[in-house]
Structure 1
Amino acid sequence: MADNTKLILPSILLLFVVYVVIYEVICWRRLLPGFPLPPALPLIGNLHQLQSNAAEQHRKWARKYGPVFQVRMGNLPVLVINSAATAKIVFSHNSQATASRPELYTFHKLVSNTAGTTIGSAPYNESLIRRRKGASSALNRPAVETYVPHLDLETKDFIKDILEFGESGHRLVNPVPLVQRLSLSLSLTLNWGTRITSHKDGLFQEITHVEEEINRFRSTTDNLQDYIPLLRLVPFSFRNKAVEYRQRRDRYLHKLNRELDDRIRNGTHEPCIQANVILDKETKLDNIELTSISLTMLSGGFETFSAVATWAIGLLATRLDIQQKAYDEIRGIYAAENPLCDAKDDQKCKYIVALVRESLRYFTVLRLSLPRVTNKEFTYDGNLIPVGTMVFLNSWACNMDPDLWIDPEVFRPERWFEQPSQPIFTFGVGYRMCAGSLLAYRELYLTFLRMLASFEIQSDGPINVDPLRGVNELTSLVSVPKKYHVRFVPRNERILVAALEAASF
């Protein structure tokens, strides 16, 4: 027996060594000829260097290896694009070749195997084409115009929440739940025709918690089992957590769909995207595809809007000069007696437009865009990029590209007056660019317009709004700031209260 034990341990060690050797041979054969590679370790490749802030690490490597290089994510080579010029070549000039998404183990196999994926994370196929067409028709400019009454209602409710919850500037406020309620209620209204009227609502708390946790499973670097298959054999808790949050998301999706079905049957439903698709006899979408659009509306807009608005509020509290410039321009268009401005205002206040664009650029809340995978081969700089190659767009590096801006690391809305045609990469580029960008711009504009017309945002202490040092969790898919509190001081409380009382809710 002792002799057998002595033989078992060396045998296991030998098998592991053989496995590693074969694994490494396969990994090195997969590498892309002609593209630089930072030094990598066996089994994990460059993952150990990308665990804290992958987008910034890629940006640093780009200074040494050039704007296009490859990294080893465990057993997979990944091409990383780090400049505006190369992003245009890879994702715009080769849009059809970079139109697909990889299917990653944690998010696609564990989290999404019942309700399906969002449009943004789905692989390229005929089903995706149908879903994108459906979403595009619901998110184009004419469609966004029809959503103005919803934007009007939700942003007025946001102003009312700020005034009441902040006790007219006498109470310090964590703006996150107020911003999230605004964003989530708009998403639910547009897609299911139902609202969230309070950030204390149980459904609000469940959805925000679950969506934030699911975002962790969408991280491009934090789920090691996506890139090291051996880890999938170990009973880590990630598997149980993924299944738990998938089940919790399924429950509230089922609830929202069931309640909408009941309203449709009773003839009491409000016009919304989901009902329009269900009632359209020409629609060719099945239930999974319909749910995919719902998930896209729920998670996509909720994530980006909430993160950008939270960063911007914190920054504005530290930059009274920017607030004053914005307020002066608003007063040049709207009288002080009209703090709610006009919901139909399609971005007339140019400084607010610039403030929105600069917030999207400077904070780049989705710093590594969701990964692509090539579905056609093409060449870059004479080097072949074969089918099945994973590609990362480093939106953070592109938005901070010194070839675009002389001072990219400075928050300065005025840059958008000086160079109004410069690209912005927060919503991606090419075929898989976010379809909801027009709605996001309109929502952010009206929110900033009404908020700054109604309140001066003040801070009692320092707020870290540095986009690198102020991030709450560096491995998260969406970058959000560390927790802070501000005061929303009414510019004229009497006028604001009267305007809210006169408004319809």
Structure 2
Amino acid sequence: MFYFIVLPLFIFLLSYKFTRQNYNLPPSPWSLPVVGHLHLLKPPIHQLYHNLSQKYGPIFSLRFGSRRIVVISSSSLVQESFTGQNDIILTNRPLNMAAKYINYNGTTVGTSPYGDHWRNLRRICTVEILSNHRLSNFLHIRKEEIYRMLTHLSRDTNANGFTLVNLRPLLSDLAFNNIVRMVTGKIYYGNDDVSKEKEEEALLYKKLVSDIAAAAGASHAGDYLPVLKLFGNKYETKVKSTGKAVDEFLQRLLDECKRDMESNTMVSHLLSLQQQEPEYYTDVTIKGLMMGMINAGTETTAVALEWAMTNLLKHPKVLEKAKSEIDAEIGEDRLVDEPDIAVLPYLQNVVSETSRLFPVSPLLIPRLTAKDIKIGGYDVPKDTIVVVNAWTIQRDPKIWDDPESFKPDRFSNNGKEHYVHTLIPFGTGRRICPGAGLGQKIVTLALGSLIQCFEWAKVKGDEEIDMQVTNGLTMRKIEPLQALCRPRPIMTKHVR
């Protein structure tokens, strides 16, 4: 046992010394032997990285056990890194335990290394299941699910006075129902005929989505110190268990879709492709695509909407301006529709400003260098994990005027074009999120509907809303958002 522990550590120390002598690495804090900087990791990680960037500059390096990490915190370095040939070198993903045990050994579109398989998956996402034409075909689902949410909310409130509502479960149900209907055609919430079994199944997968986000966003020692496996690894056991549960859930959904091939869903389309190319469109490939869609479409949509409503409650003048725009452009004769978004620029600005201050993913999903590369004049060796701190970039006072304030007007006129390279909530480069268009559509339409149909106020008028955030891949409020809500007259006309 002694040799199994000491020999790997000795080899690691020699290799670490060698790389330090031969590369001009980005600046780095003082580190401990073997564990490196793992002792510094305290949530929230994006805030830790931000603090380090204030001391060591817009690019710095860390060492987590046997792995080197480079953190980028400036817009100019992001543009340098994720354009042209550099972007190709940085298109791989690190294979951690979450990718291995949950994402089918790193073969999903979000975790697959750059190459033919990833390019095929990316093409399937952008051309086959997330094209503008296919998203237009699913517009009725987005509208029906938003209408379902409005109906639920109207039944729980009273036009004669404000009612206390808990927004998180409503937004979560909206996001989950919308994406699962698009992917599989299945409805989990809102219908009178929805069974208790379906609700329990939905709760199970929502929990799994949270577990996946926590596992994918965590910097766990087990991913960087292989020697820990000799002593058992509870984290690895938990990730394996999550992966098994996710696969069983997706397989049940896939089997149901196989029994109903006539439905117009994303999976039915993939199954028709499976009949043409069974050697490529395997069940594992389809389940990987299903998982990527459901996970991203559930967690990110619900969290983005919760942050948007939080900011509107904190800034009643912004809420009033957004409501006035909708009233002026749409009126009370009909509910706001997706094509109306084009004539509601201030509503779009509210969504943009929310994603700037409170990005759902404050740290972009890490990349892995395929070979040695230079960034900002520093050497970044092959197999280095590169992390972009979008949270810091989107609050950079060199770019944003009064960056800590919620000011949707900053995106007015040519603001969106001006900030195009510095607002990166969906990532950047070749691995930008293929579902960005869908996410923007559902968040903007749902937010506009909530503003148009209800009056909103803080629970305690003079008391600040708790803005503490969770740690992990997704940044959500620790405290679920509660608000005072009252239906507007338009509700009695159009929502039953």
Unmatched 5+ stretches in structure 2: none
Unmatched 5+ stretches in structure 1: 1-10
How many residues align? The count is: 475
- Where in structure 2 are the equivalents of 1:220-299 lying within 5 Å? 220-221=218-219, 223-264=220-261, 267=262, 269=263, 271-280=264-273, 284-299=280-295
Q: Are 2:456 and 1:457 equivalent residues in the alignment?
A: yes
Partner of 1:5: none
Determine which of 169, 173, 184 is the counterpart of 1:181: 173
CA gap 1:292/1:167 in 2 versus in 1, 3 angstroms: farther
1:181–1:204 CA contact under 8 A, matched in 2:
no
Give the deviation of 1:497 after TM superposition: 3.0
Give the TM-score taking structure 2 as reference length: 0.90
Partner of 1:7: none
1:148–1:344 CA contact under 8 A, matched in 2:
no
What does the per-residue CA deviation read over 1:72-112, in whole Å, with 9 as the maximum and x for residues that have no partner? 122211111111111010012422111110101x2123333
Partner of 1:432: 431
Determine which of 304, 315, 318 is the counterpart of 1:319: 315
Distance 2:249 2:156 in 1: 27
Distance 2:90 2:232 in 1: 35
Q: Tell me the SS of whatever aligns to 1:172.
A: strand
> What RMSD over aligned residues (CA atoms) do the two structures have, in Å?
2.3
Q: Tell me the SS of whatever aligns to 2:69.
A: strand
Distance 1:102 1:240 in 2: 20
Partner of 2:146: 155
What does the per-residue CA deviation read over 1:194-215, in whole Å, with 9 as the maximum and x for residues that have no partner? 2222498222211111110121
**Which range moves more in the overlay, 254-263 or 239-248?**
239-248
Partner of 2:329: 333
Partner of 2:76: 85
Distance 2:428 2:19 in 1: 26
Give the deviation of 1:279 after TM superposition: 1.2
Partner of 1:349: 344
Q: Tell me the SS of whatever aligns to 1:392.
A: strand
Distance 2:337 2:231 in 1: 57
Distance 2:386 2:267 in 1: 32
Amino acid at match of 1:445: T
Give the deviation of 1:30 after TM superposition: 4.0
Amino acid at match of 2:211: E
What does the per-residue CA deviation read over 1:261-281, in whole Å, with 9 as the maximum and x for residues that have no partner? 1111xx4x2x11111122136
What does the per-residue CA deviation read over 1:302-357, in whole Å, with 9 as the maximum and x for residues that have no partner? 1211111112222222221111000011011011243x222432432011100111
- Where in structure 2 are the equivalents of 1:52-451 lying within 5 Å? 52-93=43-84, 94-104=86-96, 106-113=97-104, 118-137=108-127, 138-166=129-157, 170-198=162-190, 201-221=199-219, 223-264=220-261, 267=262, 269=263, 271-280=264-273, 284-338=280-334, 340-417=335-412, 419-421=415-417, 422-423=419-420, 424-451=423-450
Give the deviation of 1:113 after TM superposition: 4.0
CA gap 1:251/1:166 in 2 versus in 1, 3 angstroms: farther
Amino acid at match of 2:429: G
CA gap 1:415/1:408 in 2 versus in 1, 3 angstroms: same
Give the deviation of 1:157 after TM superposition: 1.0
Amino acid at match of 1:132: R
Distance 2:131 2:107 in 1: 22
What does the per-residue CA deviation read over 1:358-415, in whole Å, with 9 as the maximum and x for residues that have no partner? 1111101211111101224432344443332211111111211222212111111111
Give the TM-score taking structure 1 as reference length: 0.88
Give the deviation of 1:63 after TM superposition: 2.3
Distance 2:7 2:285 in 1: 44
1:119–1:293 CA contact under 8 A, matched in 2:
yes
Partner of 1:481: 477
**Which range moves more in the overlay, 278-287 or 362-371?**
278-287
What does the per-residue CA deviation read over 1:392-449, in whole Å, with 9 as the maximum and x for residues that have no partner? 1111112112222121111111111152210311111101110111111111110111
Distance 1:464 1:315 in 2: 9
1:131–1:285 CA contact under 8 A, matched in 2:
no
Distance 2:326 2:41 in 1: 43
Q: Tell me the SS of whatever aligns to 1:488.
A: strand
Distance 2:157 2:148 in 1: 14
1:151–1:343 CA contact under 8 A, matched in 2:
no
Q: Tell me the SS of whatever aligns to 1:173.
A: strand
**Which range moves more in the overlay, 251-260 or 277-286?**
277-286
Give the deviation of 1:20 after TM superposition: 4.3
Distance 2:158 2:327 in 1: 25
Q: Tell me the SS of whatever aligns to 2:68.
A: strand
Distance 2:380 2:409 in 1: 39
Distance 1:302 1:279 in 2: 25
Amino acid at match of 2:72: I
